[in-house]
Amino acid sequence: MKEKIHPTWFPEARVICACGNTWTTGATIAEIRTDICSKCHPFYTGEQRIVDTEGQVDRFLKRLQIRDTKRAEAEARIASATSPDAPLSEFDITKRQLELLAESGIHVAGDFITKLQEGGDDAVLAIPGIGRQHLANIKKALRARGYELPKSE
Q: Which of 21, 48, 47 is nearest to 34 (CA)?
A: 21
Sign of dihedral through CA atoms 121, 122, 125, 127? Answer: negative
CA distances from 42 to 39, 48, 57, 82, 105 (A): 9, 6, 16, 51, 71
Q: What percent of the chain has pLDDT over 90?
A: 26
**Cα–Cα distance measured from residue 21 to residue 16, given in angstroms and rounded to the nearest whole number:** 6
Cβ contacts of 120 within 8 Å, gap of 6 or more? 150, 152, 153
> Which CATH architecture does the domain made up of 10-45 adopt?
Irregular (4.10)
pTM: 0.46
**Cα–Cα distance measured from residue 68 to residue 60, given in angstroms and rounded to the nearest whole number:** 12
Task: Tell me if residue 25 falls in helix, strand or coil.
Answer: strand
Q: How confident is the model at residue 49 (pLDDT cuts 50, 70, 90)?
A: low
Sequence spans of domains, the chain: 10-45, 88-144
Q: How confident is the model at residue 53 (pLDDT cuts 50, 70, 90)?
A: low
Whether the CB-CB separation of 91 and 142 falls below 8 Å is answered with yes
Q: How confident is the model at residue 152 (pLDDT cuts 50, 70, 90)?
A: low
Q: What is the pLDDT of residues 78-110, one digit of tens each?
A: 777 677 778 877 777 888 888 888 888 888 888
